[in-house]
Structures are given as structure tokens and as C-alpha cells.
Structure 1
Amino acid sequence: MAVIENEKNEKNEAHSNTTFVAEPYSIFDKRQKALIVFIAATAATFSGFASNIYFPSLATISEDLGVSVELVNLTITSYLIFQGLAPSVWGPLSDAKGRRITYFCTFLVFLGACVGLAETPNYAVLIVLRSVQSSGSASTIAVGSAVIGDITTREERGGYMGIFQAGLLAPVAVGPVIGGAIANSLGWRAVFWFLAIYCGAFLVVLVISLPETLRTVVGNGSASPSNPIARYPLTLYQKTTKTKFTPQTLPPDAAKKATIDIAGPIRILFSKQAAPVVIFLAIYYAVWQMSITAVSVLFSELYGLSETQIGLTFIANGAGSIIGTLITGKILDTDYKRVKAKHEADASQSGSETETDQPREVQHDDVNFPLETARLRLLPLLALIQCASILTFGWTIQYRVHIAVPIVTTFITGWMVVSIVSIVTTYLIDVFPHHKAASSATVNLARCLLAAGGTSIVTPIIGAVGVGWTFTITVAVQLLALVGLAIQWRFGSKWRVEAAEAKR
């Protein structure tokens, strides 16, 4: 199977002529980048809100619609399935036509689904509209990751990606609390009215404030997009830089890149440059989703918690996710700078480096750079800590240890798994710089489909063998998944070089 092009010079991503080296990678300064990341992170909260705000109401929805909890759990499964599939369409659209038009379309779909869910008459409509809702919200993460890739270089990308992940994970902490409170006071249907209002208000902000960042459309941000939808009203905000820049020349193959390649995420997923580490990530993410799906029912049945109380228990999981990704993002930037300095020193000593007039980041962002060392070093430690946390979670609930203990394990698990997702997403954006949204969609596709399968079987397995043994089995699978990480670490660099040579 053909492999999508690999690591190329980040500076040459938008074009290949010499004018580019005189201009910055992005015209946006730190404050502007912070605003763009904030908007992208807020957009990504819709995926988490739509998923997590729903958890405390599972038992109530089951009673109200007259179906079993297992059937209601299938709405989580359907949500995850479409959360995995939808970015495979929206991601390539974003890479071809632009970030703004993709955001606009996805939020319209999400808004319509929320209004329909608020008026759901029966279970069949519920499961269908949850799938549609997921199709609208899921892609905000992939598109947001691509936006960050558009405006940041490798050296700063880890930190900004950490901030982005922290923002989008806020719903993991507050979503269930809001959902539990709304469901208790106004009923579960009001949860979806809340999401509809939130979506409508934010869509206005996004359309007004977010600039187009797709580099084949606007280069480093200085070119004016021809598509009116790609333009935005606050153009003065984009021109606040004191230095005057000439519009960049777009890449010669821009027309080719404008093709919407729906199969792109699938090709990335099955490419040897991505498959081992993506499978590793998907397994760890699926186990996490299985644990938080089980929390709602287990804490209600075994500890007698109400909807509001169950919602409050999710704060630990969300707080761990947010804190973890912020810290991990900073570590990623530090690791990259350290590895780059060593790489430069080794190249200088070997005499292989030649003098050029290119900026420093241009000279060394190539296929020979030890990207796996710079990006993946933390993964084994994070994986082992998550295994210990999940094991503790299962057995403490099995023996009804004080509820504080399993709640603390959700904090640790959230920290570990979200850090893993952040690291792998950043790594894949580095490996596939021309397909940022598609590479993020690949992560979504794998982790969500596997999580969908996991959440659909977790309750029956718990009923058959108990909580402790259920999560002992999942930990065994996680340990086997470390083989994929080892393969990526050992052969990733070699495969990137081979793919680059094959493309020449």
C-alpha cells in the first residue's frame, strides 16, 4: 500500500522557492497564536461535552425511554463509532478546502442534532441522532490539531498542543458535573438544549474571529484566500505584525492537494510509519473509555451515588487529563530542543553539515532527524503507570474499597492516556506535515472504533467475571500493546527515510 509522503522541511511545506526563507513560518505572534489555539481548543470542547455530559443521565434515560442500560450504553458505542469515522471525511476536506469551511459545516450538523435530541421521542431516534451529533462534533479535534500544525514549528508545537489538549479536555472534568446538575433539575433533555445554545453562540465567535490557516491557501498567513468563506471579518487582527510581508507563493502542487482524499486517513493508519504506534494508542484509549463508561453504573449500583454525585466524581478524571497534557506538552518541547542540540552537535562534528542561508529550524527538520527519540521517549513510562492505575481501579471497586481510591485512579488514568494521545498526535503531525488533519483523523479513527467495541462489551464482561478480572484482562492487552511501541521506536526512523527516498 502506498505510503503518504513523509517528513519534509517544515519551512518548505508551503512552497519551494527561495522567497520563503526571508519570511517567518507564521506571521502570527505569540498572542495571536494563543488566541487561535484558544478558539481551536474551545471548538474541540464540543466533542468532549457531547460525550461526557451524557454519562450521569444514562440510568435516567434508560427509565424514561423504557429500555435497558445496556441499550443506552450502545448510544455511547454509536457515538464513538462515528467519532472515529467522521474525521476521515472532515479531515481531508479540511486539508483540501480549508479549516474555516470545515468548522462551519461540522457545527451546523452538530447544532441540528442537538435540537433533535432535545425532542427525542424514542430510543431509535436517540441512537440515530447521537450518531449524527458525533459526526458534527468529532472532527473539531482533528481540525484543531491541524490548525496548530499550520501555525507552529516543531520546536514549539508540543507546548501549544498541550494547551490545546488541556482546553479540549475541560469537558471531561466539568461536563459530567454540568450534565448531572441539569438532568437533576431540568431533566436529561435540557442537556441537549444546553449544547445547542452553546454551539450557536460559539459558532458566531468562530466565524468572526478565526483566520484561515491552511498553508496551501494562505501560506504563512500573509496570503489572502480567494474563497469568501475562508475570509473572516477581523482582518485587522491578522495584520497587527509590525513587519510588512509579501504574500507567499503557493506550492506548485497546490491544485493536486486541493483534492479531498477521503482514503488518506486509512492509508496513514495502515502505513508502517503509523500503524504500530496508532494501535498502541488505540488500545490504551479504549481501556480508558471502558473504565469511565463503567464508572456511571458501578458508582450508582455499588456506592449508591446520585446523578449529581456521579458527575462530581468525573472531576478527578478531567483534572488529571488537563494537568497531564499541559505538563507533557512542555516536556515535549524540552525533549525536542535537547535532541535537536545533540543532533546538530553530532552533525557538526561529523562534518556533514554545510553552510546555508536557511534558518536553523530549516536545516535540521529532515528525515534524518531522530524524531522518535524526541517525541516518544515518555510513552513507556506513561503506559506502565496507566496499567497500574487501571488494575487498582478494577480491584478496589471489586472489593468496595473507599470510593476515594478508585476516584484517585481515574485522575491518574486520565493523566496518562491523554498525555499518550497528545504525544502520538504531535508525532504524526511531524511525520505527515502535508496531511495534518488527516493524520489526526487517523488517531480518531483507530482509538474511537476500538473504544466503541470496548464500551459495548465492558458491562457484559463485568457481569460475567467481575470488575477486578475485567480490568485485569484489559491490562494484559495493554502490556501486549507495548510491542507496537517498541517496533515504532526501533524502525520508525528507517521507514521515514525509506519513504522519503522512494518519493524522490
Structure 2
Amino acid sequence: MSTSSSKEEKEHVEDDLEQAPTHATYIEKDSASSISPEHREYLIQRHGTIDLDPLPGFGNADPYNWPSWKKITNLVLVAWHACMSTFIAAAIIPAYGEIAEDFGTSVQNVSYLTSLQIATLGVAPLFWRPLADRFGRRPIFLLSLVVSLVGNVGCAESHSYSAMAGCRALVAFFISPAAAIGSGVVVESFFKKERARYMGIWTLMVTLGVPLSPFIFGFVSYRLDYRWIYWILAMINGVQLILYLFLGPETRYLRRGVSHEGSNFKQQYLTFRRIDTKPLNFLDFVRPIAMVMRPPVAIAAAAYAMIFLFGNVMISVELPQLFLEKFHFNPQQLGLQFIGSIVGSVIGEQIGGSMSDLWMKRRARRGPDPQPEYRLWVSYGGYLLTICGVVVFLVRTEQAPELHWNVTPIIGAAIAAAGNQIVTTVLITYAVDCYRDEAASVGVFITLVRQLWGFIGPFWFPSMFANVGVANSSGVATVMIIVVSIVPTILLQWKGTSWR
């Protein structure tokens, strides 16, 4: 693009946005009446219509104006990056026994290496979100991968429990950005009508990281030294870094009060200076916590966190311990038990993502655009599936005779995973739709609640199993899901519109 063309685009963007009622980077579709004729003609040539929500700016650097292949390629990279946060945390699950023997400690203590990363993944995004808002998503993602690579090498070379714990905490801190601000990337790249489908890709990858990792590394731990897990993770980070350098453009695009200088290529790939010059202060790092004062986000986060705890964390963390004790499985056999959770998550996403978008579109055809609360109807199926899956998993695990494995607990894990994924996509998409101009903050807050609640779980699960019984613990899980997830969602559908 020529310099004069770039200047013309910049002027049109600035003129248009001065007239548009905007907030942050989001331009409502109602602003279409105030855009210039040139801007209108550009959008019609690019999209075939100006009936777009949100309304894109005037220029090819705006992510809304990218071709579909470019948006999807970038989303895949970000979703893979998000997957690596949970993938790395769960990677050592099949090797708990080997690590415990190596360091002369208990399997329960080794499981805290996973819990440590779960907690770090929840807190760290508070630090990264304001930096990603100021400097853009791309520089933060690149830094994240570089330090994660180094940290995984450190884990591979650690020869004490404390050294490995420190390196894993470092990795979790730096690998965390995409798992939280990925919601912002989706909102910055895709229109509202397709948001749940692509939000679902991101949420599915975050979820899949937990069962997929032990499934793969069960083979590695059994056939090689468990330290190869860390070397392979470092190699994956290296591949991600290379791909992101060439295929991961910047999605943070301000549409008001700024001038976009340089070519489109430079803006998307070569800009490492501040994008948003607003002063950075302490409140920026804790602002996502203020979402607790917004009932739609706070209730959705709590309801989702409870489902994630039982449908994902409990099964993933406790399965190796329960099956190791009852069936004496080796790491490879333990890893294979996660197939159910993988299959269930993929199936659940088809309902939580594409089908919930179709649910909203069908309602929109009968009248005005539905309120975000209408999407919550889809979540009830996810709640019931999670309860059913957890009951089957725990009851059938206790009923299985010693050293006589059967597949029914894994079927329960698959059902719970499907329910967890439905709830994940529906509730996160709902929360983002309520406050779409603050999508990154919403993602950070939900991640914080989810990860901290998931971190606490492994500390009290063993006591619950010992005092209540494995099968009877399903009753505890059912009651907690009803009280914290189902009832508040009913309340949210009733009062959510007025609260917003």
C-alpha cells in the first residue's frame, strides 16, 4: 500500500470514529449511518454489506477486515498457545509415580506440582492483561513462548523437588496470557454472529490441554525417562515461536483517538512499541477483579468454575491416583484413560459452540436480536451431563473389583467432559456478550476464578474420598453443582437483563 493511500485510510478512520458512539475498540453497528461514503463503499466491497456487528474500520489492518483464512490461522495459533497452558500443567500426571520415586516423596506431594501451575495460571493474567492492552497481543505472546521454552529446559534439568516446582511456576506464569486474553483476540477478530463458534475453538483447546497431555505423555513416560516430557514441551514452544513470528499478526486495533502509521504489514507484524499510550497504573493490574461487582460475569464465572472443578480437574487429577491404587497401571495405561475426556470435550463443543450460535440466530429470525441471557438455555444440558458423568465415574470406579478394570468410569469421564465443554463455551460467550468491549478483562476474571477454585480442589478431594467414600462423593459434587451452578443460572436468566 502506498504512503498516500495509508494517509487517506488514516484520515477516514479518524473522521469516522470522531462521529461514532464507541467505547474502547468496539464500534456498534448502529454507527453505520455516520460513516463516510468512502468507508461505506470499502465495507461493501470487502464484506458485501454494512450490516456488520461490530462495524469494522476503514483499512486492511483492521482484523475485522482480514480474510477468513488469516483470522482462522491466527486463532489456531492463539488457541494452541492457550492449550499449552493446561497442556504443560497436566503433562506430568502419568509420571507422578516416577517423579515421586526420583525425589523420594509421595504421589500426593508430586500432584502439587500440577496444582501449583493451576494456581499460577489463574493469577498471572492479571499482570499480562494491561501489558497486552498497551503493547499489543503479539509481543506478549512472543515473550511468553521464549521464557516458557527456557523454563521447560530448566524443569528437565532440575534435580530436586523445589527446583522443579520453581521452574514449573515460572513456566506457568509466562505461558498463561493466551489462556486468559484469548477471549479478547476472538472479539477483536470475529463478528458477533460467529463469536460462539470461534470462542468455542479457543475454549475447547484450553479444555483439551488437560486430558490430551497425559494421554500423549503417558507413552513418553513409559518408554523414555520422564524428563523427556519437559524436553518435548520445550521443542513445542520453539515450533510455536517460529510459527507465530510469521503467521501471528497483531489483533489489538484501536479505532479512536490514534493514528495508524506505516504499512498494513508493519502494523500487524513489526510494531513492538506502545499501541495504547494511556498511562499504566496499579489499578490496571487489578481492574479485572472489579468484574466481581457485575453479577452477570461473577455468577457465570462461579457457575463455570464449579463445573470445571468436577468435570475436568477432579477427574484429571484424581484418576491417576485412584486407578494407580486400584489397578496398578503403568504411565502408558494411565494416559490411555484420558481418551474419554478428549472425545467428550470435542463432542460437547459442537453443542456449546456452533449449535448455541444457531440457537441465537433462530431466535433472532423471529424478532429483534435476543438478549445474551437467551443463550443460557443451552447451558442446562451441560450441567446435567456433568452431574451424570461425575456420578458414573465415581460410582463405577468404587464398584470396580481390585485389578479388574472396565470401561464404564471412562464413559462417565467422557459424559462429564462433554457437559463441561458445553458450559465452558456458553457461559464464557455469554459473559463476553454482556461486556464485549471488555472481553479481555472478562476472560482474565473467569480464568482467575476457575483456576483458583481448581487449585483448591486437589487439596480436599483425598479427604472427601477418605471420609465420605468415592461413590458417595458424587452426591457432594451434585449438590455443589446445583447450588453454585444451576440455581444461580436460573436467577441470571430472570434478572440478568436488569443487572446489565
- What is the TM-score normalised by the length of structure 1? 0.82
Q: Deviations over 1:142-195 (max 9, x none)?
A: 232221111111111111122333344444453212211111222111101110
- Does residue 166 (structure 1) correspond to residue 170 (structure 2)? The answer is no
Distance 1:218 1:125 in 2: 47
Report the counterpart of residue 494 of structure 2 in structure 1: 490
Q: Distance in 2 between matches of 1:432 and 1:286?
A: 25
1:261 positional shift: 1.5
Instruction: Please tell me the residue identity of whatever aligns with 1:261.
Output: D
Q: Percent identity of the aligned residues?
A: 24
Residue 341 of structure 1 corresponds to: 365
Change (3 A) 1:282 1:170: closer
For 1:14 and 1:452, the matched residues in 2 are separated by: 43
Residue 239 of structure 2, aligned match among 188, 198, 201: 201
Answering whether residue 144 of structure 2 is matched by residue 143 of structure 1, we say: no
Within 5 Å, give how 1:112-261 maps onto structure 2.
112-216=150-254, 223=260, 231-232=268-269, 255-256=277-278, 261=284
Aligned to 2:458: 455
Match of 1:499 in 2: none
Structure 1 contact 83–135 (Cα < 8 Å) conserved: yes
Q: 1:205 to 1:184 in 2, by over 3 A?
A: same
Alpha-carbon offset, residue 406 of structure 1: 0.4
User: Is 1:11 matched up with 2:27?
Assistant: yes
Cα deviation 1:476-497 (Å, max 9, x = unaligned): 111111222122111111111x
1:278 paired residue number: 301
Q: For each residue in 1:455-498, what CA deviation from the matched residue of structure 2 results, as whole angstroms up to 9, or x when unmatched?
A: 122123223332112232122111111222122111111111xx
CA RMSD of aligned residues (A): 3.0
Q: What CA distance in whole angstroms lies between the structure 2 residues aligned with 1:148 and 1:136?
A: 21
| Residue aligned with 1:263, SS | helix
Mean CA deviation greater in 119-128 or 269-278: 269-278
Structure 1 runs not aligned, ≥5 long: 1-5, 235-250, 345-363, 497-504
Note the C-alpha offset of 1:225: 7.1
Higher RCO structure (Cα 8 Å, ≥6 apart): 1
> What's the secondary structure of 1:33's corresponding residue?
helix
1:387-436 deviation line (CA, Å, top 9, x unaligned): 12111211111111652000011111111112211111112222222222
Conserved 8 A contact 2:26-2:437:
no
Task: Give the AA of the match of 1:86.
Answer: A
Change in Cα spacing, 1:341 to 1:129, as seen in structure 2 (3 Å) is same
Contact 1:14 1:216 in 2 (8 A): no
Q: What's the counterpart of residue 243 of structure 1? A: none
Quick check: 137-146 or 377-386, which moved more? 137-146
Which deviates more, 442-451 or 112-121? 112-121
1:105 aligns with 2:143: yes
2:142 counterpart letter in structure 1: F
Alpha-carbon separation, structure 1, partners of 2:76 and 2:236:
16
Give the total of aligned pairs.
448
Mapped to 1, the partners of 2:320 and 2:480 lie a distance apart of: 23
User: Is the 8 Å Cα contact of residues 381 and 419 (structure 2) preserved in structure 1?
Assistant: no
Q: 1:100 deviation in Å?
A: 0.3
Q: Show the counterpart of 2:352.
A: 328
SS at the partner of 1:216? coil
Rounded to whole Å, the distance in 1 between the matches of 2:166 and 2:419 is: 32
Cα distance per residue 1:428-450 (max 9 Å; x no partner): 22222222222111111001100
**Cα distance in structure 1, aligned partners of 2:289 and 2:497:** 21
2:383 maps to 383
State the alpha-carbon separation in 2 of the partners of residues 13 and 285 from structure 1.
Answer: 35
How far apart are 1:335 and its partner, in Å? 1.6
In structure 1, C-alpha distance between the alignment counterparts of 2:136 and 2:23, rounded to whole Å: 22
Q: Compared with structure 1, are the counterparts of its residues 479 and 491 closer, same or farther at alpha carbon in structure 2 (3 Å cutoff)? A: same
- Shift in alpha-carbon separation, 1:326–1:311, aligned structure 2, 3 A: same
Distance in 2 (alpha carbons) for counterparts of 1:226 and 1:100: 17
How far the C-alpha of 1:226 sits from its partner, in A, is 9.6
Q: Unmatched 5+ residue regions in structure 2?
A: 1-21, 44-54, 57-63
TM-superposed CA distance for 1:114, in Å, is 0.6
Distance 1:112 1:14 in 2: 48
Alignment CA distance shift 1:227-1:457 (3 Å): farther
**For residues 342-367 of structure 1, what are the alpha-carbon distances to aligned partners after superposition, in whole Å with 9 as ceiling and x for unaligned?**
332xxxxxxxxxxxxxxxxxxx6xxx
| Cα distance in 1 for residues equivalent to 2:262 and 2:93 | 42
- Structure 2: distance between partners of 1:328 and 1:79: 27
Shift of 1:224: 5.2
Contact 2:90 2:114 (C-alpha < 8 Å) held by counterparts = no
Cα distance per residue 1:291-343 (max 9 Å; x no partner): 22110111111122211011011111012112211332111211221222233
Residue 57 of structure 1 and its aligned partner are, at CA, apart by 0.7
Q: Is the 8 A contact 1:80 1:452 kept in 2?
A: yes
C-alpha distance in 1, partners of 2:138/2:295? 31
Q: Is the 8 A contact 1:101 1:229 kept in 2?
A: no
